[in-house]
Amino acid sequence: MAGKWAVFRCVDGRLNEPLENFLRSFDVPPNHYSFTLIGGTKDNFRVLTDLEFAVSRLGISRAIFVQHTDCLAYGGRIMCGCSEDADREFQIGEIRRIIDDIRKIEGLTSWFFLAHIDDNGEVSFEEIDKNK
Residues that bind Zn ion (CB under 5 A): 10, 12, 71, 73
Our CB check for Zn ion shows the closer of 12 and 94 to be 12
| Cα 44 to Cα 22, 74, 108, distances in angstroms | 24, 14, 17
Our CB check for Zn ion shows the closer of 8 and 55 to be 8
Our CB check for Zn ion shows the closer of 10 and 23 to be 10
Query: Cβ(99)–Cβ(88) under 8 Å?
Result: no
Minimum distance from residue 14 beta carbon to Zn ion (Å) = 9
Minimum distance from residue 57 beta carbon to Zn ion (Å) = 26
Instruction: Estimate the share of the chain in helix, then strand, then coil, as percent rounded to the nearest 5.
Output: 40, 30, 30
Minimum distance from residue 12 beta carbon to Zn ion (Å) = 4
Minimum distance from residue 31 beta carbon to Zn ion (Å) = 24
Our CB check for Zn ion shows the closer of 62 and 77 to be 77
